[in-house]
Amino acid sequence: MIPAASSPRAALPIAAAALAALAIAGAPARALAGNKADAFEGIIPPVSGQLYQKAGRFEITPSFDMSLEDAFFTKYFAGIEAGYHFTEELSLSASYAAGTSVRTASAVVCPANQGCHPASATQLDQVAGRMRSMGGVEVAWAPVYGKLNVLAAQVIHFDLSILGGADWISRDQVLSAADAQALAAGASPPVVSSFGGHVGLGVRFFVTDSIAIRWQLKDYLYAVPIPNWVEASGVKSSLQNQLFTEIGLSFFFPSGARSAPPAAGR
């Protein structure tokens, strides 16, 4: 006679009980792993591809510009820029900005054996830096497109650009000491213009498909004759180096131009 424990009919309940015990023991581990994997599920939807497209679109940007690290005059300009994006990386634009130049707190003179005091209007007429306006053309290359997760709840799309261009800069003429003394009180020096150029960096933060916040840092270079610097060859020119920061709001046309919809979410 075969013992009951060895009977196939009796072994089935034992095997079922063992399998149930293993399932119960493994359930918490699998649940924990699932919780870890799904920790951010529903918070940040997956993002694939370049969501905001620029190729084949126009960009119009009203902006505010301010000069940085200026020894004599701080410039505050309002401007407008219009450009076209040939590809996602390459664009061409034209811009114009104008405004006012305000003397800085560092515009002081310190004569020998005397205390320092603010420079007079006559003395400021003999230095470069009082710009009136600037207009030019610019080529931009944007090799970087990226995405930022903000507080694990929002995705911000941005791009980075390298800028370069040629400019037509209008400014007050730098006067000689004699001409500055002869200038009528309250009058301004003549306004003259010259060619220059700039290089810079820029970043866009896309708000919607058709709107972006843009920040740029540009270094303008242009030559200015200084009448008080006279050499055998004539009046010496000084290469001016002027740093500007710019913040603007860009609008893209036509609106809604995307190469493909996102895979999921934003």
Q: What is the pLDDT along the chain (266 residues), one digit of tens a residue?
A: 444 444 444 444 544 454 444 444 444 444 444 555 455 555 555 545 678 899 999 999 999 999 998 888 999 999 999 999 999 999 999 999 999 999 888 888 877 777 787 888 888 888 888 999 999 999 999 999 998 887 767 888 999 999 999 999 999 999 988 888 888 877 889 999 999 999 999 999 999 999 999 999 999 999 999 888 766 566 788 899 999 999 999 999 997 655 444 444 44
Per-residue pLDDT, 123: 85
Query: What residues contact 162, with CB distance under 8 A and at least 6 apart?
Result: 140, 141, 142, 143, 199, 200, 201
Query: What residues contact 54, with CB distance under 8 A and at least 6 apart?
Result: 85, 88, 91, 142, 159, 252
Per-residue pLDDT, 117: 78
Per-residue pLDDT, 33: 46
Per-residue pLDDT, 149: 80
Other beta carbons within 10 Å of 6? 8
CATH topology (fold) of 58-253: Porin (2.40.160)
